[in-house]
Structure 1
Amino acid sequence: MTALLTEPINGILDRLHTASLRDDDLDIAPLPSGASAQQRADALASAYMPVSTQGGRLLYSLARSARPQTIVEFGTSYGISTLYLAAAVLDNGAGRVVTTELSAAKVAAARANLAEAGVAPLVDVLAGDARQTLSTIDERIGLVLLDGWKDLYLPVLRLLEPRLAPGALVIGDDSSFATVQPYLDYVRDPANGYLSVNFPVEDGMELSCRIDS
């Protein structure tokens, strides 16, 4: 039986998905125009902003199939998507997840959730700006999940590109959001070395295979 559907991971995911339903009821003050990534992270520290259950199961299935040794996630939040990826690593029997989060409150919560699920040894949670934290990775990356601030998808991908393994899978969540368009324009242009297709799950996921590395 997959770790995804057994305890404690299954129960923790159910709890976190249920808690995330309260996101719509949060009273969050409007942010000033041009707010920094840190300001946005601090303002939304109580918001889960999770991947959907179906999106999470897709992530798990892709990671099980690709069997990447190194998975990189941009945007940990409370660790929901991280748990799906870590469950795949656990069931694959090898690999690790490197994830990064700007909100200190969310870093602490994600680490606690991962420890409770028993997968903390498989995950490195990096605190800080992804443009700095992910620059420390020096091994080949087999799978990337972009699920942080949408305007940073492309800068983060460009940062990671030199370390993408041939055939690496890059997943951009919430691909229907207008702020993701510059990223989509990039990965959908074959001249940039990707074969890309949109998958209709929740708010959309762009699945891009690195064909030029």
Structure 2
Amino acid sequence: MSGVLGDPKLQAIVDRLQAQSVAQEPVTGAYFAERIKAGDLSWEGFDARLTEFMADKLVALEPVKAEFCHLLCRSLRARRVVEVGTSFGVSTLHLAAAVRANGGGTVIGTEHEPAKAAAARAHFAEAGLAGFIDLREGDLRETLKVIEGPVDFVLMDIWTEMARPAMELITPHLRPGAVVIADNTVQSARGYERFFEFVRDPANGLAAMTLPFEGGLEMVVKG
């Protein structure tokens, strides 16, 4: 056994990618600090400068959060998972490993940037998990229009202005008891305002609480 994943080869791949992500953090942090100080960073979406800067950045979900999501998927016996924001596929590997351990199924991934999608697919193949992942490349407002079957679990780790559109598309497919995890909901609370408006609307049948992970991790449950 190797950690919660129980797969030494997969764990080695994940550890390598997490190390790459951590190595990028000082540069990424300095970039955002500079733009926030200049007042030219919008919560409404990526501009050309930000898109170019982020093209090679993994921004991987922290290991403890990724492992927590893996265990949630295992406990839910999740067979259909949606990941909103795949990047280089680190958290996707955790989700796909859970689906595999649960007897099979599909992780529907979303990635807007072609280069990141290509890198993620290479990592899926290296880990032997490609057969459990349906990576949809493009604008999620188009790629998530069709979701086959009930959804057991959702991981949302994306630029915050896309969180509500994603929830609007996914929520009708959530089975009772399904769980949605959204990352950095405290650190990026301003950007999540429209997401929370949707989650807190009683008409949508959702309940939520903020878990005490770094940056805030929102757990949403379908009633």
TM-score, normalised to structure 2, is 0.86
1:105 is matched with: 115
Q: CA deviation at 1:75?
A: 0.3
2:132 is matched with: 122
1:153 is matched with: 163
2:17 is matched with: 16
- Aligned length in residues: 211
Q: CA deviation at 1:67?
A: 1.2
Deviations 1:42-61 (A, max 9, x none): 44111111110100110001
Q: Give the conservation status (yes or no) of the 8 Å contact 2:60–2:91.
A: yes
Q: Give the conservation status (yes or no) of the 8 Å contact 1:101–1:126.
A: yes
Matched, 1:96 2:103: no
Deviations 1:109-158 (A, max 9, x none): 10001110110100011110111001121321111111111111111101
Q: Pick closer, same or farther for the CA change 1:153–1:34 going to 2, 3 Å.
A: closer
Q: CA deviation at 1:186?
A: 3.0
Query: How far, CA to CA, are the matches of 1:202 and 1:167 in structure 2?
Result: 25
Query: How far, CA to CA, are the matches of 2:52 and 2:151 in structure 1?
Result: 29
Query: How far, CA to CA, are the matches of 1:14 and 1:205 in structure 2?
Result: 22
1:46 is matched with: 56
Structure 1 vs Structure 2 CA RMSD: 2.2
Matched, 1:184 2:164: no
Picking from 124, 132, 146, the partner of 2:142 is 132
Q: CA deviation at 1:6?
A: 2.2
For 1:187-202, what aligned pairs fall within 5 Å after superposition?
187-202=199-214
Identity fraction in percent: 37
Query: How far, CA to CA, are the matches of 2:174 and 2:152 in structure 1?
Result: 6
- SS of 1:83's partner is helix
Query: How far, CA to CA, are the matches of 2:120 and 2:212 in structure 1?
Result: 27
TM-score, normalised to structure 1, is 0.89
Query: How far, CA to CA, are the matches of 1:197 and 1:32 in structure 2?
Result: 28
Q: Give the conservation status (yes or no) of the 8 Å contact 1:188–1:195.
A: yes
Matched, 1:144 2:157: no
1:205 is matched with: 217
Q: Which amino acid aligns with 2:164?
A: L
Gaps of 5+ in 1: none
Q: Give the conservation status (yes or no) of the 8 Å contact 1:86–1:123.
A: yes
- SS of 1:172's partner is strand
